[in-house]
Amino acid sequence: MSSQLHVGPVAVGGGAPISVQSMTTTKTADVDGTLAQMYALAGAGADIVRITCNDIEAAAGLAEIVPRSPVPIIADIHFQHRLALAALEAGVAGLRLNPGNIRNETHIKTVARAAKDAGVPIRVGVNGGSLDKDLLEKHGSATPEALVESALTEIRYLEEVDFTDIKISVKHSHVPSMVNAYRLLAEKVDYPLHLGVTEAGPPPGGLIKSVAGIATLLLEGIGDTIRFSLTADPVEEAKAGRSLLEYLGLRERKGLDLIACPSCGRADVDVIAVAAEAQEKLEAEKLPIQVAVMGCVVNGPGEAREADIGIAAGKGKGHLFIKGQVVRVVPEDEMVDALVEEARKLVEEGFEARLAAADTSAPEIAAMNALQLAADQGDANQTQERRKAVTQRAVEASTS
């Protein structure tokens, strides 16, 4: 387990919940515009937000933004160590220093001493795209080993002035390199690690790359805070980060998790259209539940029995189920609205109450519909024929 630090009130590392970060895209000198974006990010699930502090006007903007921010602010420092000192004066909750940009040891230690006096942590933010040129020459490219060496050198500077309130990132745009860099770093330090695939690009590719790298490490127990670096509205970064943690079971669900079958020839409805309609209406309700949309009643309720609630189509009807138990049968053209209504009641009243309110005739109706559908369409899996063929092959093998 990593050590723990605090970015304002948000604990990072040491078994604390994995936190979600993003970064504003506004000019920091635009105080109102930056705050508007920060509130949007907080609403989308960001626990911490990074803001650029690249000039004097940005530092002045921070002085107004910090006391009005809904979440802790980390100042992103580029080349001028004096701007880090100004950001501390503005009251930021954290600093991010890029070893490839600020290389003067004396300047780094000056910032560390000031941050220690202020009780503010520093992220050592190594980036494959801005690695120190000496390390590039030594390693030939931005290898995992080069990224880790850069981080360790910076950490040594900080530790030499007794500064240990440190978290680290070793980001790379190449997913395997990013994963290997963090694995290597995790073997050498116990500081909290900030995960991300840098310059991941626009969705969907940027999302895929970010999930591939970040989820791989989180499932290995590596990582304490994350950021999706997308070429998109940063609100999408926060949403994606929060959703990933919920899907991995690392944060309590606050949003909708909609699962749906991929559809097949047995489906009597347009599953894609039904799932899209259900997602739109359920997201508007902001219900923190898992919902299933299944294309047929033959296998739907059983396959999705772990979902909190779901709907399965069959013979012009929608079969509404809770934890796999059919509770209502409604006309097909009403099934999405019925699903939304029941989901709202489920969140308000709880599972026991909604199961107690179930239509007692619903399971029998659903079973009859499933049998009729199977009879009309046949056995899509050809179960009996497959069993006979396998048995025959086993008999032939045993007598040969």
193 Rama sector, left if φ>0, alpha if ψ -120 to 50, beta otherwise? beta
Tell me if residue 190 falls in helix, strand or coil: coil
Say if residue 163 is exposed, middle or buried (CB neighbours under 10 Å; 0-12, 13-18, 19+).
buried
pLDDT digit string (tens) for the chain, length 400 residues: 899 999 999 999 999 999 999 999 999 999 999 999 999 999 999 999 999 999 999 999 999 999 999 999 999 998 999 999 999 999 999 999 999 899 899 999 999 999 999 999 999 999 998 998 899 999 999 999 999 999 999 999 999 999 999 999 999 999 999 999 999 999 999 999 999 999 999 999 999 999 999 999 999 999 999 999 999 999 999 999 999 999 999 999 888 999 888 877 666 678 888 999 999 999 999 899 999 998 877 666 777 788 999 998 877 888 899 998 889 999 988 999 999 999 999 999 999 999 999 888 877 766 776 666 666 655 555 556 667 777 777 777 776 6
- Match 């030499």 to its residue by tokens: 160
Confidence (pTM): 0.86
CA 5 – CA 120 distance, rounded (Å): 9
Both tokens of residue 249?
């079971």
Residue type, 333: D
Residue type, 48: I
Q: 297 with 312: CB under 8 angstroms? A: yes
> Domains in the chain, please, with CATH?
4-247 (3.20.20.20), 257-377 (3.30.413.10)
CA 392 – CA 115 distance, rounded (Å): 76
Q: How many residues does the chain have?
A: 400
| DSSP assigned state of 161 | T
Both tokens of residue 131?
């690695």
